């Protein structure tokens, strides 16, 4: 392989990175997940080198930003896709080195189908991070509320903790609105999205962050990104049960599902929900269909600049 077209796979963790070049799979390089160490490693690579990594919450972001700034071709890969790929190629071990080699192999063979990573606008990046942390804090609040209930001796501590977490969530909501105000066109898009029945402030903010970061050519591409697209399971004459691909970000899918639950009880969407149930769909399946409809409508409003019109947009969804 020409070194100028080298492909590197990187396994990312909180403290360290393990890298390997596809045409030299036996040589693993380990470095700290710190700016100085990453910059020193990148300085030895020619511009245009492929640097591929798995999306790992926040831990891959430093490498992605520094590699892009250094002129590398950066790919941030979906963990679910890599998991299935590792199974498909018969990877038996689960080590940092094995994962780095698998990522390099995947990036080389699938590069033509992959989308280059581009750094999001700073406000969009901060907005995404705030929304992720808000989701975590809300989950912790729910867990503590349940685990500390039922014991009077813990009531005071429980109330204090929950009040503190509630103040943190309110502060985060203020920061989220502040970051959205820094994004061109975000305020108008937010208003259009919240006009959709079922979509509240948090779901709308998540969609604003997404549409400010990624560009989708078609509705189908957006639905595939959410992971709400049905995956066929057919063979010959057999027609298997459809399941969700779940390839997209879990938080986005969770929020859209919550929007589907809210919509199922609304005057606008309840007849649609009842029709789905009458067709034999289980509750969860019907809500997933509603979530997918809401996602399609959200994309249509994003592209058209219109506000939600039940009679018009339910037909296209």
What does the alpha-carbon distance between residue 1 and residue 108 come to, in Å, rounded to a whole number?
Answer: 11
pLDDT for res 10: 98
- Give one DSSP letter per residue of the chain, joined into a string: --GGG-EEEEEE-SSEEEEEETTEEEEEEEEESSHHHHHHHHTTS-TT-EEEEE--TTTTHHHHHHHHHTT-EEEEE-HHHHHHHHHHTT-----HHHHHHHHHHHHHHHGGGPPPP-PPPHHHHHHHHHHHHHHHHHHHHHHHHHHTTT-GGGHHHHHHHHHHHHHHHHHHHHHHHHHHHTSTTHHHHHHHHHTSTT--HHHHHHHHHHHHH---SSHHHHHHHHT-SEE--EETTEEPPPEE---S-HHHHHHHHHHHHHHHTSTTTHHHHHHHHHTT--HHHHHHHHHHHHHHHHHHHHHH-PPP-HHHHHHH-
Residue 15, pLDDT above cutoff 60: yes
pLDDT tens digits for 264-276? 999 999 999 999 9
Indicate the pTM of the whole model: 0.80
Which tokens in the block code for residue 169?
Answer: 């969530």
The predicted model gives 291-314 an average pLDDT of: 91
Half-sphere exposure of 41 (CA within 13 A, CB side): 25
pLDDT for res 240: 62
pLDDT tens digits for 178-221? 999 999 999 999 999 999 999 999 999 999 999 998 888 899 99
pLDDT bracket for residue 312 (50, 70, 90): confident
How far is CA 129 from each of CA 22, 91, 191, 195, 210, rounded to the nearest angstrom? 32, 33, 21, 24, 12
């Amino acid at each position: 392989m020409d070194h100028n077209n080298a492909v590197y796979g990187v396994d990312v963790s909180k403290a360290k990175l393990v890298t390997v070049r596809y045409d030299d799979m036996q040589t693993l390089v380990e470095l700290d997940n710190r700016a100085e160490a990453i910059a020193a490693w990148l300085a030895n690579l020619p511009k245009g080198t492929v640097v591929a990594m798995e999306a790992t919450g926040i831990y891959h972001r430093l490498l992605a930003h520094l590699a892009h700034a250094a002129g590398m071709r950066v790919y941030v890969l979906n963990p679910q896709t890599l998991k299935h790929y590792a199974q498909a190629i018969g990877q038996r071990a689960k080590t940092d080195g094995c994962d780095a080699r698998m990522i390099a192999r995947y990036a080389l063979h699938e590069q033509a189908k992959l989308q280059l990573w581009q750094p999001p606008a700073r406000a969009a990046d901060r907005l995404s991070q705030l929304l992720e942390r808000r989701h975590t804090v809300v989950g912790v609040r729910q867990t503590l509320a349940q685990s500390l209930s039922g014991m009077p001796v813990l009531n005071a501590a429980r109330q204090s903790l929950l009040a503190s977490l509630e103040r943190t969530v309110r502060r985060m909501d203020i920061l989220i609105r502040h970051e959205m105000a820094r994004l061109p066109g975000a305020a108008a898009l937010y208003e259009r999205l919240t006009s959709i029945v079922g979509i509240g402030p948090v779901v709308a903010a998540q969609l604003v962050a997404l549409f400010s970061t990624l560009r989708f050519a078609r509705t189908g591409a957006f639905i595939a990104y959410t992971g709400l697209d049905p995956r066929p399971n057919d063979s010959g004459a057999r027609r298997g049960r459809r399941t969700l691909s779940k390839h997209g970000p879990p938080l986005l899918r969770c929020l859209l599902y919550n929007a589907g639950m809210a919509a199922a009880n609304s005057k606008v969407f309840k007849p649609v929900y009842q029709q789905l149930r009458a067709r034999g769909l289980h509750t969860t399946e019907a809500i997933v269909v509603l979530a997918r409809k809401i996602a399609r409508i959200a994309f249509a409003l994003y592209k058209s600049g219109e506000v939600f019109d039940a009679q018009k947009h339910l037909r296209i969804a």
